[in-house]
C-alpha cells in the first residue's frame, strides 16, 4: 500500500533485507530535493512521486558500467536490443545503422534513475514545477524527459556521479538520429534533447559562504561541457576537462522543467532538521507578545495560506520589512469580533493606495506590497541554522539571513536560455534587487 507522508520518509527505506530484518537503517548517500516545494508536494507525497527522494545503499548492487560497443546494421532486430535483460545505449547514426554500447553489472555501484515516467526503472518521478502555491496549476506540455538522468553511487565511499538519460523498462537508452552525438577517441557519447544541466556551488554549501558556480551540461557518458547556445541547440558545448559529474553537497541538477538540489548525507548532518525548524517557529511564536486587544498573538504558520483566506496571520511590508499580525481582508469591518483590529496599526483602512494596490506601512509610512509570512520548513534548502529573520520577496517565505542571501544569488535556468533567482520553497521568481527583505518584528503594537 502506498502511504501518504510529509516527505520525511522514502519508500526505499521500507524494503526488508535478505535476513528478513525490515526497516533496518541503511547507509544514506544523500537526498535529491525538488526546488519549489516546502517539505512535501501540495497533493501529498505518494510512493515515488514526492518532493524529495532519499538515496540509500541498496540491499543488492544494481549499478552498471560500459562494456563493449559495436555497429549494427538493422538496430530494431539486433539481438542486444531485443534482449531486455541487457543494459545498452543505442546511438542511431542513420535509419539502418546504430552504435550499440553494452553495459555490464557493476558490483561497486548503486544506480538511481530520475524522470517523468512512472515506469518501474524510475526511482524518483519528477514533474514540471510551477511557481507559487501550485493549487490549481496544470502543466500543459512537459519538457522533462521520461527517463531524464541516472545517478551512480559508489557503494564503498559516498561518491555520486550523474549521467544524462535513464534506462527504460527494456533497459535501453535510445538516442535518435537527430540527437547530438559524437565519437570521442573510441567511445560514443551524446546529449539529450533538453539536456541535463549541473551547477556545483563554489565553496561549501553549508555555512552560507558558497557562491553560485557556472552551469554546465553532462552527457550520457558523464563528461562535462559548457552550455549550448540555447537549451536544445544541435551543437554541443566545449568540453570542460577540469570539471566532473561528481555531485557535491549543494549541486543543482536542472532537468528543464524542474531543478533538483543534491544534499550529501555528510552535508545534511550540518543542516537543521525539520524538528529544529519547527522548534524555531515555536520559540518565535512563544516570544511574541500579544496584541493590545488580547485576542491574537503572532503565529508564524508552517503552511502558506492564500491571501483570500480570512485568518489571522503575520504579514510583512515588503519594502520596509515591518511585520504585523491581523486580518488581511478588507471586509473585516463587517466582522464584529474583528472590528477591534481595525484600530490597530496597519488596519486603519489598511493604508491602501487605490491606484496601485500598494499599502502604506503604519510604522514608517512607506508604500509597498504586503504579503503573508510563511516559514520555509524544508531543511535541505538551509545553508545554516538560526532564527528566520529574512523573507523572500515577493512570496514571504522566511529563512535564515544566509539562506535567503544564498538563494537570491543563485541563477536557476528557466525557459530555453534564461536564468532567474527563485525562492527555493515555492519557485516564485524573486522580485527586484536584492529579492528579499529583513524582517522587523514589532514587540509592541501601540
Ligand atoms: Zn515600514
Ligand atoms: Zn517562496
Query: Closest Cα to residue 201, out of 253, 148, 258?
Result: 253
pLDDT at residue 262, as a whole number: 98
**Is position 289 within any domain?**
yes
- Report whether 327 contacts 341 (CB < 8 A): yes
CA 336 – ligand 2 centroid, Å = 33
| Domain-ending residue, one of 269, 285, 301 | 269
- Nearest ligand to the CA of 394 is 2
Q: How many Å separate Cα 171 from the centre of its chain? A: 27
**Count: domains in the chain:** 2
- Nearest ligand to the CA of 359 is 1
**Is position 157 within any domain?**
yes
Same domain, 39 and 112: yes
CA 325 – ligand 2 centroid, Å = 19
pLDDT at residue 347, as a whole number: 44
| Domain-ending residue, one of 269, 300, 315 | 269
CA 386 – ligand 1 centroid, Å = 24
**Is position 300 within any domain?**
yes
pLDDT at residue 10, as a whole number: 43
Burial of 379 (0-12, 13-18, 19+ CB in 10 A): buried
Dihedral Cα 218, 221, 225, 228, nearest 10 deg: -70
Which residue range(s) make up the domain with 242?
Answer: 4-269
Tell whether pTM > 0.75: yes
CA 432 – ligand 2 centroid, Å = 14
pLDDT at residue 240, as a whole number: 97
Same domain, 229 and 363: no
**Is position 333 within any domain?**
yes
- Distance separating alpha carbons of residues 120 and 440, to the nearest angstrom: 49
Same domain, 85 and 226: yes
pLDDT at residue 444, as a whole number: 43
Burial string for 384-404 (b: 16+ CB within 10 Å, else e) reads bbeebbbbbbbbbbbbbbbbb
**Is position 443 within any domain?**
no
Same domain, 259 and 326: no
Same domain, 317 and 388: yes
Same domain, 205 and 344: no
Same domain, 130 and 115: yes
CA 171 – ligand 2 centroid, Å = 39
Sign of the C-alpha dihedral computed for residues 84, 85, 89 and 93 taken in this order: negative
Same domain, 240 and 355: no
CA 395 – ligand 2 centroid, Å = 5
- Which residue stretches of the chain have pLDDT < 50? 1-21, 289-296, 305-310, 327-349, 444-446
Which grid cell sits at 443?
514587540
| Domain-ending residue, one of 269, 297, 323 | 269
Same domain, 113 and 88: yes
- Report whether 47 contacts 2 (CB < 8 A): yes
Query: Closest Cα to residue 425, out of 55, 51, 125?
Result: 51
Same domain, 345 and 254: no
Q: Which residue has the cell 520553497?
A: 425
Residues in the chain: 446
pLDDT at residue 442, as a whole number: 66
- Nearest ligand to the CA of 345 is 1
CA 399 – ligand 2 centroid, Å = 10
- Distance separating alpha carbons of residues 399 and 383, to the nearest angstrom: 10
CA 410 – ligand 2 centroid, Å = 14
The DSSP letter of residue 322 is: B
CA 301 – ligand 1 centroid, Å = 21
Same domain, 157 and 259: yes
**Is position 444 within any domain?**
no
pLDDT at residue 344, as a whole number: 38
- Distance separating alpha carbons of residues 15 and 165, to the nearest angstrom: 26
CA 369 – ligand 2 centroid, Å = 15
**Is position 393 within any domain?**
yes
Same domain, 241 and 286: no
**Is position 304 within any domain?**
yes
CA 28 – ligand 1 centroid, Å = 46
- Report whether 192 contacts 254 (CB < 8 A): no
Amino acid at each position: 500500500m502506498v502511504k501518504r507522508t510529509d516527505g520525511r520518509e522514502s519508500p526505499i527505506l521500507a524494503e526488508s533485507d535478505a535476513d528478513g530484518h525490515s526497516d533496518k537503517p541503511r547507509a544514506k548517500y544523500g537526498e535529491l530535493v525538488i526546488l519549489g516545494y516546502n517539505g512535501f508536494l501540495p497533493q501529498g507525497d505518494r510512493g515515488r512521486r514526492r518532493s524529495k527522494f532519499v538515496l540509500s545503499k541498496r540491499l543488492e548492487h544494481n549499478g552498471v558500467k560500459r562494456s563493449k560497443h559495436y555497429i549494427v546494421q538493422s538496430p530494431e532486430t539486433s539481438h542486444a536490443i531485443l534482449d531486455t535483460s541487457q543494459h545498452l545505449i543505442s546511438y542511431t547514426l542513420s535509419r539502418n545503422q546504430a552504435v550499440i554500447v553494452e553495459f555490464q553489472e557493476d558490483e561497486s555501484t548503486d544506480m538511481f534513475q530520475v524522470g517523468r515516467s512512472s515506469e518501474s526503472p524510475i526511482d524518483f518521478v519528477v514533474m514540471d514545477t510551477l511557481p507559487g502555491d501550485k493549487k490549481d496549476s496544470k502543466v500543459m506540455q512537459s519538457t522533462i524527459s521520461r527517463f531524464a538522468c541516472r545517478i551512480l553511487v559508489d557503494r564503498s565511499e559516498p561518491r555520486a556521479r550523474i549521467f544524462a538519460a535513464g534506462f527504460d523498462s527494456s533497459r535501453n537508452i535510445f538516442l535518435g538520429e537527430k540527437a547530438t552525438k559524437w565519437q570521442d577517441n573510441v567511445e560514443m557519447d551524446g546529449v539529450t534533447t533538453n539536456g541535463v544541466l549541473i551547477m556545483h556551488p563554489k565553496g561549501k554549501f553549508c555555512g552560507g559562504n558558497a557562491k553560485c558556480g557556472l552551469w554546465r551540461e553532462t552527457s550520457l557518458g558523464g563528461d562535462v561541457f559548457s552550455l549550448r547556445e540555447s537549451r536544445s541547440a544541435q551543437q554541443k558545448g566545449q568540453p570542460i576537462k577540469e570539471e566532473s559529474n561528481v555531485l557535491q553537497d549543494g549541486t543543482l541538477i536542472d532537468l528543464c522543467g524542474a531543478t533538483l538540489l543534491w544534499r550529501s548525507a555528510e552535508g545534511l548532518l550540518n543542516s537543521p532538521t525539520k524538528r529544529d525548524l519547527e522548534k524555531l517557529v515555536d520559540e518565535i511564536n512563544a516570544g511574541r507578545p500579544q496584541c493590545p486587544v488580547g485576542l491574537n498573538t503572532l503565529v508564524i504558520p508552517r503552511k502558506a495560506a492564500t491571501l483570500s483566506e480570512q485568518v489571522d496571520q503575520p504579514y510583512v511590508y515588503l519594502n520596509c520589512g515591518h511585520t504585523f499580525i491581523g486580518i488581511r481582508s478588507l471586509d473585516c469591518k463587517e466582522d464584529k469580533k474583528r472590528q477591534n483590529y481595525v484600530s490597530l496599526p496597519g488596519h486603519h483602512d489598511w493604508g491602501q493606495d487605490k491606484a496601485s494596490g500598494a499599502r502604506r506601512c503604519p510604522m514608517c509610512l512607506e508604500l509597498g506590497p504586503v504579503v503573508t509570512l510563511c516559514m520555509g520548513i524544508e531543511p535541505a534548502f538551509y545553508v545554516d541554522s538560526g532564527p528566520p529573520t529574512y523573507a523572500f520577496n515577493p512570496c514571504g517565505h522566511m529563512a535564515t539571513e544566509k539562506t535567503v542571501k544564498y538563494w537570491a544569488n543563485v541563477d536557476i535556468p528557466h525557459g530555453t536560455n534564461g536564468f532567474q533567482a527563485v525562492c527555493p520553497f515555492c519557485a516564485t521568481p524573486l522580485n527586484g534587487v536584492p529579492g528579499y527583505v529583513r524582517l522587523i518584528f514589532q514587540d509592541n503594537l501601540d
